[in-house]
Amino acid sequence: MSGPAVVYWVETSERAGEEELAVAARRAFAAAGLGSRVRGLTAVKSHFGERGGKGFVPPRVIREVVELVRAAGGTPFLTDTTTLYTGRRTNALDYGALVLEHGFTPEAVGAPFLCADGLVGANETEVPIEGVHHRSVALAADALRASSAVIVSHATGHLATGFGATIKNIGMGLASRRGKLRQHSRLRPEVVADRCIGCEDCLPNCATGAIGPDARRTGKTPVMAIDAERCTGCGECLASCRQDAIRFDWKVGSRQLQEAMAEHALGWVRRMAGRFGCLTFVAHVTKNCDCMGRREAPLCPDVGVLAGTDPVAIDQAVCDLLRERNGRTLEAMSFPKLDGSVQLAHGERIGLGTRRYELVRVG
């Protein structure tokens, strides 16, 4: 059995401002020696916020990370992937515009934004793994083409996983649309008939021809239906429908979702071994994740910035610090019926990392 992982912690004040977080990020990055992992085209993977949201790691801090990457000899670019749900991040163009609206302009942060999974989430690479649920995971291709990466995560509660930070930022955040669907749902989409306006925007995007006018309906305007036998669950129709008329059943169990998420993270971590580092912000910790697109008050005082190279160890340290500081777990403060430690236990089981860590406080 290998020894514990080292996790570096720079403590901040209880309501850290952007400048304080930027300084903490610089110190954590240096203490963990993350610069030694940087080379060539370097992805700075973060979540740049859903419209109306506030809790995401801000441009001032991302600029600091970009400067650190450049100083270490890398050529940084900001990256993330498109989403399954209907919002402002469903395709690369809308997400690119939102990134600029949120202040992550090349002038402000010093690097451009590139969606790692392409225009509609289909730029993907299948990576074989030895997981419990998956033998192969579908990941954003350009997140694997980068020479190195800095994973910039924001710890929050989550309505389906209870807790989300580094593992989620990699496992869900670097999965292609197909990879996200595999994690979220084993079911096929359905058309919500009273929302479908018959525009047919979805048709050219369905590679298998599974979606088409519902022959059982005889009205003037066609309403789409999906042939479950031909549907692969790729989610292309979800991205192309602007009427929110395509729905998936998200009622997949939290345990299965967390385990699948850890397995997708494993695929990326294995491919990028020795070429990535993690900075995880335990500040402005909210009940919901940054996908929610609304301003939420923090649940608890800020803890600071954690750095290291083992996503399981970092997330374990995040959970422990939050529990010690608040006398109860993050899930108890947000979604008490969920247990976010499933992703940690499964991550350790499949070799993503270790829950045993040595916490080095950076003075």
Contact set with ligand SF4 (CB under 6 A): 189, 191, 196-202, 205-206, 208, 210-211, 224, 226, 231-237, 240-241, 243, 245-246
- To the nearest whole angstrom, how small is the minimum distance from the Cβ of residue 253 to ligand SF4? 21
Q: How far apart are CA 271 and CA 284, in angstroms?
A: 32
Tokens 């990020």 locate to 25
- To the nearest whole angstrom, how small is the minimum distance from the Cβ of residue 87 to ligand SF4? 16
Torsion of CA 309, 315, 319, 320, to 10 degrees: -30
Nearer to ligand SF4, 94 or 348 (CB): 94
- To the nearest whole angstrom, how small is the minimum distance from the Cβ of residue 90 to ligand SF4? 12
Q: How far apart are CA 129 and CA 10, in angstroms?
A: 34
| Nearby residues of 138 by Cβ (< 8 Å), 6 or more positions away | 124, 125, 126, 127, 175, 176, 178, 179, 182
Nearer to ligand SF4, 226 or 289 (CB): 226
- To the nearest whole angstrom, how small is the minimum distance from the Cβ of residue 88 to ligand SF4? 18
Return the DSSP state at 175. Answer: B
- To the nearest whole angstrom, how small is the minimum distance from the Cβ of residue 93 to ligand SF4? 17
Nearer to ligand SF4, 15 or 242 (CB): 242
Q: Which residues of 69-107 are buried (b: 16+ CB within 10 A; e: fewer)?
A: beebebebbbbbbbbbbbbbbbbbebbbebbeebebeee
- To the nearest whole angstrom, how small is the minimum distance from the Cβ of residue 217 to ligand SF4? 12
- To the nearest whole angstrom, how small is the minimum distance from the Cβ of residue 171 to ligand SF4? 21
Nearer to ligand SF4, 51 or 188 (CB): 188
Nearer to ligand SF4, 46 or 81 (CB): 81
- 153 in Cβ contact with 169 (< 8 Å): yes
Strand partners, 115: 80
Tokens 């450049």 locate to 70
Q: What DSSP line would sit under 24-56, residue for residue?
A: HHHHHHHHTTGGGG--SEEEEE-----TT---S
- 181 in Cβ contact with 83 (< 8 Å): no
- To the nearest whole angstrom, how small is the minimum distance from the Cβ of residue 242 to ligand SF4? 7
| Nearby residues of 81 by Cβ (< 8 Å), 6 or more positions away | 115, 116, 117, 121, 140, 143, 173, 174, 175, 176, 180
Nearer to ligand SF4, 241 or 350 (CB): 241
Strand partners, 7: 359
Nearer to ligand SF4, 13 or 208 (CB): 208
Q: Residue 110 — left, alpha, or beta (φ > 0 → left; ψ -120 to 50 → alpha)?
A: left
- To the nearest whole angstrom, how small is the minimum distance from the Cβ of residue 246 to ligand SF4? 6
Nearer to ligand SF4, 161 or 240 (CB): 240
Nearer to ligand SF4, 237 or 306 (CB): 237
Q: How far apart are CA 42 and CA 34, in angstroms?
A: 12
Q: What DSSP line would sit under 303-334, residue for residue?
A: -EEEEES-HHHHHHHHHHHHHHHHSS-HHHHS
